[in-house]
Amino acid sequence: MIGFIGIGIMGSRMARRLLDAGHELIVYNRTKSKTEPLIKKGALLAGSPKEVGSQADIVFTMLANPQAVDAVAYGDNGLLAGMKQDALWVDSSTISPTQSVKLADDAKNEGIHFLDAPVAGSTGPAEKGELIFFVGGESRDLEKVRPLLNIMGKEIHHKGANGTGTAMKLVNNLMLGQTVAAFSEAVAFGESLGLDKAGVIKSLFAGPTAAPILHFKESKMMNEDFENADFKVNSIYKDMELASEEAYKHGFALPLSNTLKAMYGLCQQQGKGEYDFATIYDFLKKK
């Protein structure tokens, strides 16, 4: 039996792929209604994280923030209170390396194996099983879960010990936030010079500087439709804040990222926290 906790926009798609591949699944989500499509497809519903842990040999968590991970992990009804000896917990949430190491240590103290395995990719890749997993933890634990990761993703990058998977995810998302913001500023600048937006985007895509993520944001920027979010402002702001906190612990400066993080924070203050983070284009463009 496989457990899955966190049936949000990413977790629901990842869990569905496991279910469609024929695996028995038990799921838990704080908002019960989000589990209904999976229940209709045959998944079992648990009443608590502890119940998931008591029935599953491998448990995946895909949660919104560090606080949600701790809320699921600890307490009388928490995951660690219910998991079997030698069971495996795979956390795909984006949290800090420091927190991942603590979770791994606490799991080990309970006789439980732990992998941090956050993903690169948004809703489209999750739907198609094309996520990239950044994994931290023991090789033998990764080999145990590799067939399941291959159902949900197209690549697995084992980065080293516990905490290195989440470290790589922060590095990835730091660049993700910068890339979309730089593209947004370039397009908005082109428009301010009197250039046609569609033409600016086409010319940028023809050059060497256009990252693959930008092609996914083209329609949002062209239509200025940011309310239907693939990846929210709240999420990129949270990830960049985690990177900033971790950089501080390691004595490393992030001058570009910290300036940009403040811009995403201003988008939040404008009431756009639930918008797609490509709304940074609307924030930057000349009104």
- Tell me how far apart the alpha carbons of residues 66 and 93 are, in angstroms, rounded to a whole number: 8
- 3-class SS at 25? strand
Rounded to a whole number, what is the largest CA-CA distance in the chain?
65
Q: Give me the tens of pLDDT residue by residue for the chain, a chain 287 residues long.
A: 999 999 999 999 999 999 999 999 999 999 999 999 999 999 999 999 999 999 999 999 999 999 999 999 999 999 999 999 999 999 999 999 999 999 999 999 999 999 999 999 988 899 999 999 999 999 999 999 999 999 999 999 999 999 999 999 999 999 999 999 999 999 999 999 999 999 999 999 999 989 989 999 999 999 999 999 989 999 999 999 999 999 999 999 999 999 999 999 999 999 999 999 999 999 999 98
Whose structure tokens read 């046609």? 196
Per the annotation, the verdict on 169 as an active-site residue is yes
66 to 62, 72, 257: CA distances (angstroms): 11, 10, 20
The string of DSSP letters for 39-58 reads HHTT-EE-SSHHHHHHH-SE
pLDDT, residue 123, reads: 87
pLDDT, residue 144, reads: 98
Amino acid 261 reads K
The answer to whether 44 touches 25, Cβ cutoff 8 Å, is: yes
Candidates 34, 108, 154, 169; catalytic one: 169
Q: What is the pTM of this model?
A: 0.94
Q: What are phi and psi of 26, to 5 degrees?
A: -120, 130
pLDDT, residue 105, reads: 98
First-to-last C-alpha distance (Å) of the chain: 54
Q: Which domains does the chain have, with CATH numbers?
A: 2-161 (3.40.50.720), 168-284 (1.10.1040.10)
Structural element, H or E, at residue 154? strand 153-160
